[in-house]
């Protein structure tokens, strides 16, 4: 059959028509933004504006941090058509190790953080070796991991009387503190504003650069008015969030940590060989292998990265609670997997972006946060999240089939 004639959509057509075509073509990409906006609007109206106060937005970022870190790692795993069910308890176990090293062994925080990350890496390595070298399917290997690390978490914490309280201030600041400002108290957090402005400029700059590049090679670009509107919208959203935060305590450290990881993974996936290989293996592992890609090592890398990020997530979580508990980590993997899928990782693998996964995380965490504000029962929250999750995936599967 002949290819669908894409040039039918030329720049000559009216703006309205272009918007419509764009909306149709990219419905999948925009859908989660729309969902997020609807959720925010809904909770804002239902909580008399409490939902978008600076306090609550900071709170939301802090709640989202550990899920976001897990979800970024999970995105790689899912693109590769693997799964990691153990991340929740690996996170819980890592948080407990951090608490023990800090409070019982008395190591300095600067040593504890890298040590725990190494523990996470080794756990990832162990599961990755099971999957790639021994040949155990990821579902089984990590289900076993779920048993093991849940058990280890219980064993370590119960020996020390259950909950281990963390007193180290730096560690606690990881997921409760805010970035510092220039001396003295201002009405506005200046560093936050500066970061916001730089951030917005960078986004605008990179978009313009990408557009120039596309024009240079005569690829289709959206028409100028739409492009400018998009830029204004994006910068407006960034500036609004930053301003709200700046008028309170500024940007939370957790947002900085997630931001750095997000940028690093986004760079890796889009700009490096390893990123290409990850998409290639997810698309067709045999073809990737015959193209000279070391499929096993790439998958091994993804599990190691997942383990390390799970350890970080565990530390963020225990920082937030200022303690390690035997129940930490329960159902984290559910939020992480759901975030990735809501963010558009294809169920059949090979497709997905960490930047969209973050939107998925915000959807999931906003739901939790908003329903908590509204006083919705915890178990009912699971039902709601489950329904949103399945709707997102069903929508994804349908639009992909038609597209």
Residues that bind another protein (CB under 8 A): 1-8, 213, 216-217, 219, 271-273, 276, 279-280, 283-284, 286-294, 350-351
Helix (H, G, I), strand (E, B) or coil at 291: coil
Cβ proximity to another protein, 120 vs 350, nearer residue: 350
Q: Is 306 exposed, middle or buried (0-12, 13-18, 19+ CB in 10 A)?
A: buried
Provide, rounded to whole angstroms, the least separation between the CB of residue 345 and another protein: 13
User: Nearer to another protein by C-beta: 167 or 273?
Assistant: 273
Element (H, E) at 79: helix 54-79
Closer CB to another protein, 134 or 185, in the complex: 134
Residue nearer to another protein on the CB measure, 294 or 381: 294
Q: How far is the CB of 311 from another protein (least distance, A)?
A: 25
What is the smallest separation between the CB atom of 82 and another protein, expressed in angstroms?
Answer: 17
Q: How far is the CB of 83 from another protein (least distance, A)?
A: 20
Query: How many CB atoms are located within 10 Å of the residue 365 CB?
Result: 23
Contact of 357 with 79, CB cutoff 8 Å: no
Residue 325, SS3? Answer: coil
Q: How far is the CB of 21 from another protein (least distance, A)?
A: 11
Measured CA to CA in angstroms, residue 138 lies from 62, 207, 299 at distances of 30, 38, 10
Question: 388 with 334: CB under 8 angstroms?
Answer: no
> What does the alpha-carbon distance between residue 116 and residue 87 come to, in Å, rounded to a whole number?
14
* Closest separation in Å from C-beta 292 to another protein: 4
Task: Between 263 and 290, name the residue whose CB sits nearer to another protein.
Answer: 290
Please say which residue, 12 or 159, places its beta carbon nearer to another protein. Answer: 12
Closest CB to another protein among 229 and 270? 270
Nearest approach in angstroms of CB 175 to another protein is 31
Between 5 and 378, CB nearer to another protein: 5
Q: What is the largest CA-CA distance in the chain?
A: 72
Distance in Å, CB of 264 to another protein, minimum: 12
211 or 247, CB closer to another protein?
211
| Nearest one of 292, 300, 293, 257 to 76, comparing CA atoms | 300
Report the SS3 class of residue 35.
helix
Using CA atoms, how far apart are residues 343 and 6, in angstroms rounded to an integer?
27
Strand partners, 165: 323
CB of 248 to another protein, least distance (A): 38
In angstroms, the Cα distances linking 275 to 265, 268, 278 are: 9, 5, 5
Residue whose C-alpha is closest to residue 97's, from 189, 4, 171, 13: 171
Question: Cα–Cα distances in Å, from 266 out to 258, 274, 279, 312, 346?
Answer: 12, 12, 13, 18, 17
CB of 136 to another protein, least distance (A): 17
To another protein, the closest distance from the beta carbon of 284 in angstroms equals 5
Among candidate residues 145, 185, 188, 146, the one with its CA nearest the CA of residue 54: 188
* DSSP 8-state assignment for residue 269: H
Cβ proximity to another protein, 186 vs 212, nearer residue: 212
Measure the CA–CA gap between 321 and 253, rounded to whole angstroms. 15
Are 342 and 364 in contact by the 8 Å Cβ rule? The answer is: yes
| Residues pairing with 96 in the sheet | none
């Amino acid at each position: 059959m002949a290819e669908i004639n894409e040039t039918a959509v030329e720049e000559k057509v009216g703006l309205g028509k272009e918007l419509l075509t764009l909306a149709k073509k990219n419905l999948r990409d925009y859908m989660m933004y729309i969902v997020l906006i609807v959720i925010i609007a809904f909770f804002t109206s239902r909580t008399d504006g409490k939902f978008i106060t600076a306090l609550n937005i900071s709170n939301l970022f802090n709640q989202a941090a550990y899920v976001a870190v897990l979800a970024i790692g999970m995105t790689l795993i899912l693109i590769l058509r693997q799964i990691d069910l153990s991340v929740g308890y690996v996170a819980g176990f890592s948080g407990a190790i951090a608490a023990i090293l800090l409070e019982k062994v008395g190591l300095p925080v600067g040593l504890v953080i890298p040590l725990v990350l190494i523990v996470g890496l080794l756990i990832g390595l162990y599961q990755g070796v099971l999957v790639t070298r021994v040949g155990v399917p990821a579902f089984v290997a990590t289900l076993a991991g779920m048993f093991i690390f849940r058990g280890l978490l219980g064993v370590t914490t119960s020996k020390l009387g259950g909950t281990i309280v963390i007193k180290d201030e730096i560690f606690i600041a990881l997921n409760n503190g805010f970035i510092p400002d220039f001396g003295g108290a201002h009405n506005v957090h200046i560093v936050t504003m500066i970061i916001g402005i730089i951030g917005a400029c960078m986004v605008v700059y990179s978009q313009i650069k990408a557009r120039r590049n596309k024009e240079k090679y005569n690829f289709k670009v959206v028409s100028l008015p739409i492009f400018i509107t998009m830029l204004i919208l994006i910068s407006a959203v960034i500036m609004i969030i930053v301003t709200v935060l700046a008028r309170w305590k500024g940007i939370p450290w957790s947002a900085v940590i997630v931001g750095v990881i997000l940028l690093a993974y986004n760079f890796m996936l889009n700009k490096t060989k390893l990123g290409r290989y990850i998409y290639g293996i997810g698309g067709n592992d045999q073809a990737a292998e015959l193209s000279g890609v070391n499929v096993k090592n790439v998958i091994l890398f993804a599990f190691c990265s997942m383990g390390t990020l799970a350890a970080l997530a565990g530390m963020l979580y225990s920082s937030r609670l200022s303690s390690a508990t035997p129940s930490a980590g329960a159902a984290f993997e559910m939020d992480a997997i759901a975030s990735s899928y809501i963010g558009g990782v294809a169920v059949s693998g090979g497709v997905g972006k960490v930047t969209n996964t973050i939107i998925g995380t915000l959807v999931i965490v906003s739901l939790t946060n908003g329903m908590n504000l509204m006083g919705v029962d915890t178990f009912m929250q699971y039902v709601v999240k489950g329904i949103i999750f399945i709707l997102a995936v069903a929508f994804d599967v349908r639009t992909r089939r038609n597209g």
